[in-house]
Amino acid sequence: MRKVLSKYQISWLVLLPVKGKCTKRDIALLNKMANFHPHTGYGIIGSGNAIIGKWFPNKKEAMSALKKIKGLNKPYRGYIITDKQFADMSIDFVKKENQLFITKKQKKESRLVK
């Protein structure tokens, strides 16, 4: 029998560019680095190429993946959020804006990756 994960167990690693937009080259580097297939690995989330994300079954695996990231073209701020927070993200496709709800603790645990 398969174990069912709750929306608070699943974690998302989201990378927000410090300045500008995400690049497809950075996404390709992340997937190559982590040995993920492009369709199941990191991808652009939301509107306006503003967020790179990938889900993990728990926070420990997401944190481990965040620590391994290096060699990207531009700096990103990496956050670990729950699946519930990911589902509550608001996306405005007209203005090409995304809004994530991140707690103070998650901001404190965030990491700058380059």
Sign of the C-alpha dihedral computed for residues 36, 76, 105 and 91 taken in this order: negative
C-alpha 67/C-alpha 59 separation (Å) is: 12
Query: Domain range spanning residue 34?
Result: 11-113
User: pLDDT of 8-27, one tens digit each?
Assistant: 789 999 998 998 888 888 88
Angle, in degrees to the nearest 10, between helices 59-68 and 24-34: 110
**Tokens at residue 57, please?**
């079954």
**Is 74 among the domain residues?**
yes
**Is 90 among the domain residues?**
yes
**Is 32 among the domain residues?**
yes
**Is 73 among the domain residues?**
yes
User: pLDDT of 23-40, one tens digit each?
Assistant: 888 888 888 887 776 656
Domain count, the chain: 1
pLDDT of amino acid 78: 94
**Is 5 among the domain residues?**
no
C-alpha 74/C-alpha 28 separation (Å) is: 13
Residue ranges in the chain assigned as alpha helix (H): 24-34, 59-68, 83-87, 104-109
**Is 50 among the domain residues?**
yes
**Is 83 among the domain residues?**
yes
**Is 57 among the domain residues?**
yes
The residue ranking higher by pLDDT, 61 or 48, is 61
Q: What is the pTM of this model?
A: 0.84
Phi, psi dihedrals of residue 7, rounded to the nearest 5°: -70, -10
C-alpha 45/C-alpha 79 separation (Å) is: 14
